Structure 1
């Protein structure tokens, strides 16, 4: 039986997990490592608003009730109405990768955003060589839209990214499609 994947607000204990697991390239993985970053800002924002605000947020990914990562969203629209869409990012502890947890978590956060914001579009991007994340997004219902050339600075050079999206209409059969 597959594990139950849920999302919940971040707790102080979760911050400890994030610091411990995502403190180097081993925790992030080759496609998501962008260098060391201070956790002071994360803890400051947690103290201010629990990492949930009108400009984005972070939820803990839990597998069978145990924290195994986080999903984050931030403004990612096109055109003058930036909140027409959100961009997603996910980080899972290495032991929870490759078993469908990321697929379910990304679908859950997209559903959460469609249910609780006016967003028409949720998008994510990844390195073209990150086959596991591309497969996870596709299984979560996201559609590949194309290649963003030289979009991400990582490891002393520019990398391409593949853009994926899920529209409100993709999940409900209603809404605009362009």
Structure 2
């Protein structure tokens, strides 16, 4: 499976619009209808490559499969970490794309940003994502009780992390492509 991460283009906006208005498409993370034009405005603002949060498209065998995202966080207001996430279209789930995309994103962020910690959270019932994170080199840290409001009630999450010096998985035939951008949204010098 050839998995590639690349910057969002205008032709990719349909994907974000679908996730905003199709109940169940995003799986357990459905939080209600969202503004379908917000992705268009965000793309016009910074192409989804911002200083504190960004997105890349996941392509599998040259087909758009979904996207990965990262946003900054801090426990002490001094040291930052990235929190990553992924959303794949249903037809691309369970094919080994997710763990590869998350491992690639993690390697990319460790290579291009000075963070020591990258974390990801998932639902206790999302066993597939838990296995995907573990295969991508993440370790379970614990349960975050009552961390999100979903489907009418507060629910727990499982928190995973990978540190800069943790072993990285073998990625095989995978890559991050694109020019003229960096992971924190600053244009690169030509």
Tell me the TM-score normalised to structure 1 length: 0.89
The alpha carbon displacement at 1:21 in A equals 5.2
Query: Which structure has the highest helix share of the two?
Result: 1
d(CA) in 1 for partners of 2:35, 2:130 = 28
Q: Which protein, 1 or 2, shows the higher relative CO under an 8 Å CA cutoff with sep ≥ 6? A: 2
Contact 1:76 1:123 in 2 (8 A): no
| 1:137-171 residue CA offsets vs partner (Å, 9 max, x unmatched) | 00100000000000011011000000000111114
RMSD: 1.4
Q: Extract structure 1 runs of 4+ deviating beyond 3 A.
A: none
**Unpaired runs of 5+ in structure 2?**
169-190
SS of the residue aligned with 2:25? Answer: helix
The number of equivalent residue pairs is: 168
Q: Which residue of 1 aligns with 2:143?
A: 147
**Unpaired runs of 5+ in structure 1?**
173-178
d(CA) in 1 for partners of 2:73, 2:107 = 16
| 1:110-150 residue CA offsets vs partner (Å, 9 max, x unmatched) | 11111111111110001111101101000100000000000
d(CA) in 2 for partners of 1:138, 1:41 = 33
Q: Which residue of 1 aligns with 2:10?
A: 12
d(CA) in 2 for partners of 1:89, 1:8 = 15
d(CA) in 2 for partners of 1:103, 1:20 = 22
